[in-house]
Amino acid sequence: MQSRKIITSILGGGALLTSAISGAATSSLPQTIQEMDGATTLKACTEISQMFGKVKGKLDPQKQRSTFAWCLFATVNSPYNGEAGSRPLWQTWASNENTFLDEGIKPKWPTESSSDIHEEIKKRTIEANESKSPQNDDSERVDSKPSSKESVYRNKITFDYLSNINPMYSQQVVKDTYRRRQKAELPLGSIEVKAHWVRDGHLTSWGQELSINKNKDNDKMISAPSDSSYYLNGMHIMIKSDMLPGNESAFTSQEKSWFWTTFEYVNNPGRTQALKFVKPKTAKNWYEYHNNRQLLKKVQAKMPWAQNLDPKFIDYYRSNGTQLSFFEDKEVAVLGNTTMEDFAFQPTPETQPENWVGWTTSCHTCHAQARTPIMPASLMQQGGFVPAYGPLGPVDPDVVNGAWPLDFIWSIPLHAK
């Protein structure tokens, strides 16, 4: 099967890609960012990861994964019209606000790209920070809700699946899917991006917004093309790289299906300290693979579609790691982002990363719990919904008893109306 070979080649034990992608080793790579749909991105970044994923002439799984993560990050952030500073690829996709409409109306792919920061994001930001008057004092903590400044976008094949192929854009159609026991299984190359934004003069650190000297950090960060008062502080990326076989459940399956990576601005407070808890670190040069600026430049040079990538992405943004499943190298996998998702995982929001003694966060464990039934809107509005829990590894059956897995897509139960 094609999908099984894709996952083992780019993400598994270092096996070479054979017939999974016909002629990948010698095929011409895409030339423009407009060509980079989901399947093309999966194929092209697989090839790039093989070019640069070797150590002493042999493919190294960790280096392959690091290269694949960087290729994916550079691809989604490359300007769509080829002009530096313009809207990147991922911001031409459909946002949650484009996908999950009021009254469960069936969505249409946006004919004009949404703003890079949807108006709803701005509204939530204003509401979260109203009556605040932060000063440029490095020690001041602004009591706001960093999660209010996160935006989620999905590529067209993901959108098409949720809106047409196996509809899950409203509470009613999800209920219909649940009654039919129709398995949620997004196509290969499905991509979702979640970005975290900060206001001018601020950074975010684990549930706290910190005021900073904006000339110290904001001039190094990527500003939103349509609103320079917002800056990119962190980003999650997930891409469907394999199909779960047969009756395997997302709640517990050890099979690999999604590739996870998460990036941060390099100077986020406490990021360096937090990285010591990320697992696994089987490669001696794990950290170097993700932070080697010269290697990133060499990789970009082989990506014709990413030649107009803003240099700040190379200079000031780094991956915290990658993840494939609940366990890796016989230990539970740990991966997180210090700017996002402080709502569920230890340590508590009041504890800043520089003081942590552990970190129970996992992209795969969290998203594996995406499930029916639809979450009550009242809980979301009150901020009382906790979609994940502390323990790592496979999902506790008691937590998801009677539920139906939604292929790791939290936006469905959280935002369908």
**Among candidates 105, 106, 104, 107, which has minimal Cα distance to 171?**
104
Between 309 and 212, whose confidence is greater?
Answer: 309
pLDDT average, residue stretch 182-210: 82
Mean pLDDT over all residues of the chain? 78
Between 131 and 311, whose confidence is greater?
Answer: 311
Q: Is the distance from CB of 3 to CB of 17 less than 8 angstroms?
A: no
Q: Please determine, for residue 9, whether its predicted confidence score (pLDDT) is greater than 60.
A: no
What pLDDT, on a 0 to 100 scale, did the predictor assign at position 136? 37
**Among candidates 31, 33, 35, 4, which has minimal Cα distance to 20?**
4
Structure tokens at 303: 């990506």
What whole-number percentage of the chain has pLDDT above 90?
Answer: 34
pLDDT average, residue stretch 97-107: 91
pLDDT band per the 50, 70, 90 thresholds, residue 409:
very high
Highest mean pLDDT among 208-222, 249-263, 399-413: 249-263
Helices (H) and strands (E) in the chain, counts: 15, 14
| Cα(178)–Cα(381) distance, integer angstroms | 25
pLDDT band per the 50, 70, 90 thresholds, residue 313:
very high
Q: Range with the lowest mean pLDDT among 13-27, 74-88, 157-171, 249-263?
A: 13-27
Q: Tokens 């508590």: give the residue.
A: 348
What pLDDT, on a 0 to 100 scale, did the predictor assign at position 331? 85
What pLDDT, on a 0 to 100 scale, did the predictor assign at position 143? 35
Burial (CB < 10 A; 0-12, 13-18, 19+), residue 192, is buried
| Interval 206-229: pLDDT, tens | 666 666 655 567 778 888 776 777
Between 83 and 335, whose confidence is greater?
Answer: 335
Q: Please determine, for residue 376, whether its predicted confidence score (pLDDT) is greater than 60.
A: no
The three-state secondary structure class of 142 is strand
pLDDT average, residue stretch 251-264: 93
Q: Please determine, for residue 149, whether its predicted confidence score (pLDDT) is greater than 60.
A: yes
How far is residue 317 from each of residues 11, 94, 234, 244, 249, measured CA to CA in Å? 22, 24, 8, 32, 34
What whole-number percentage of the chain has pLDDT above 70?
Answer: 71
What pLDDT, on a 0 to 100 scale, did the predictor assign at position 28? 82
Q: Please determine, for residue 147, whether its predicted confidence score (pLDDT) is greater than 70.
A: no
Between 53 and 217, whose confidence is greater?
Answer: 53
| Cα(371)–Cα(403) distance, integer angstroms | 6
Q: Please determine, for residue 373, whether its predicted confidence score (pLDDT) is greater than 60.
A: yes
Between 291 and 211, whose confidence is greater?
Answer: 291
**Among candidates 109, 72, 99, which has minimal Cα distance to 411?**
99
**Among candidates 315, 311, 322, which has minimal Cα distance to 291?**
315
Q: Please determine, for residue 130, whether its predicted confidence score (pLDDT) is greater than 70.
A: no
What pLDDT, on a 0 to 100 scale, did the predictor assign at position 212? 61
pTM: 0.86
| Interval 322-344: pLDDT, tens | 999 999 878 888 898 988 876 55
